[in-house]
Every structure is written in structure tokens, then in C-alpha cells.
Amino acid sequence: MELWQEVTVAAFLVVAGIFGFVGSFGLIKLPDPMTRLHAPTKATTLGVGGVLIASMLYFLFAQGQFSFHELMITLFLFLTAPITAHFIAKANLHTNVNRDRVSATGTDRPWAGFESDEARRLHEEQGASGK
Amino acid sequence: MILSSALIFATACFTLALLMNLWRVVKAPGVPDRILALDTMVINFIAILVLYGIIEGTAVYFEASILIAMVGFISTVAYARFMLRGNIIE
């Protein structure tokens, strides 16, 4: 490998390592659950993306063949990271936040995280009045 | 020379990140935080596997990292859904 190729791969690796470290450090350091959700789902995903780009460039430079595996992993991670973040945020809203503090939805229905509670309550009330 | 030290640096960073995630799994203030730490552990482990593939110079580990990515995503969604609805498949 020539020097500029090594420097390019090394730069991607260093940036990726810093992002991965910062993401996991934020998970420990940030004050409340919603901000803690922010650090790993963005920074760590970016760190893994950097490692995968570095790996793609390394195999392109060292062995002269372009590999698509990394692109598949990157695509999969970048598609699933927002979905997991959304699910964890909903779980957090459901368990840790009082439902009176959540802003109104503007419709008859509650927020989706509270909908099962609401449906169960209505069902129990109807069952009690039916008897 | 440059590349090998960068590889060592990146591996050290992700290893420290994994250790911090493990600490978070053990001492988390709530269950959603624990799920989040497990999800981050999966992502960091994928990075370490890919780095090990670069160090060894083989492409064998990519299949393993794709599998781990899929299993990690499914398990995180299942955990979060269980917390949300008390049930995974309704």
C-alpha cells in the first residue's frame, strides 16, 4: 500500500474510534434518560460507519477487490438505529414519564405508548358497568 | 506503521466503550437505560469484529457481524416492545 492510502484508512479509523468512545461515554455521563438516548444512537452509529468505510477502503487498496459486505452492514445499521432509538424512547416515555406531563395529542386518542393502558381501562370500566 | 497504530487506537477506543457499556448494564438507573446499553454493546461489538477482520486480513468476519447486527436489532425491539405492551406478539 502507498502512503496516502494508509493515511486515508488510518484517518477513518481514528475518527471512528473517537466517535465510538464519545458515544459510550455520553451514555454514562449525560444527566437524564432522553439525553442519554441521544449519545449512543448517533455517535456510535457514526463510529461503526467510519470503521466500515475504513475496512472497505483497506480491502480495496490492499487486495484490489471491492467488497459489498460493509455496505450491507452499514445500510442495515443506519436503517435500524433510528427504529431502535424510537422504540427505546417510547418505552422510556411509558415507564418514566407521568402521562399528565405529556402534551396533548389534539385528537381523541392518547399517545401510542399509553394507548394500551387507555384501552385496558376502558375495557375494565365497560366490564364493570355491564355487570 | 501508521495503519497498525491506528488499528490499535481504534480497537482500544471500542474496547473501552464496551467496558463502559458493561458498567452501564450492571449499574443502570432504569430498565430502558439497560436496553439502550445492551444495544450500544451490540453496535460496538460489530465495530470490534470488523477491526479484527482488518487486522487478520480476511473477510470471514463480515458474515458474523451481519448476523450479530440482525440478532441485536431483533432483541432490542423485542425488549422495548415487551416493556411497552407487556407482550411481544399480540
Q: Nearest-CA residue of chain B relative to A81?
A: B73
Domain ranges, ordered by start, for chain A: 3-97, 102-131
Distances (CA, A) of A83 to A35, B73, B75, B78: 17, 9, 13, 12
* All three cell numbers of B11: 480497537
User: How far does A23 lie from chain B, in Å, by closest CA?
Assistant: 8
- Furthest CA-CA distance within chain B: 56
* Mean pLDDT over the full length of chain B: 89
pLDDT in tens, A7-66: 999 999 999 999 999 999 999 988 888 888 888 888 888 899 999 999 999 999 888 888
pLDDT confidence band for A131 (50 / 70 / 90): very low
Q: Do B69 and A76 touch (CB under 8 A)?
A: yes
**B4 to chain A: which residues are within 8 Å by CB?**
none
Q: How far apart are CA B48 and CA B12, in angstroms?
A: 9
- The model's pLDDT over B73-88, given as tens digits with 9 standing for 90+, comes to 999 999 888 888 777 7
Tens-digit pLDDT profile for residues A54-77? 999 999 988 888 878 888 888 998
Please tell me which of the candidates B2, B44, B80 has its beta carbon nearest to residue A20.
Answer: B44
Q: ipTM of this predicted complex?
A: 0.87
> What confidence score (pLDDT) does residue B75 get?
93
Q: Secondary structure of chain A in the HEC alphabet?
A: CCHHHHHHHHHHHHHHHHHHHHHHHHHHHCCCHHHHHHHHHHHHHHHHHHHHHHHHHHHHHHHCCCCCHHHHHHHHHHHHHHHHHHHHHHHHHHHHCCCCCCCCCCCCCCCHHHHHHHHHHHHHHHHHHHC
CA distance B41 to B14: 10
Distance, in Å, from the CA atom of B8 to the CA atom of B88, rounded to the nearest integer, reads 41
- Rg of chain B over Cα atoms, rounded to whole angstroms, equals 16
pLDDT of amino acid A69: 80
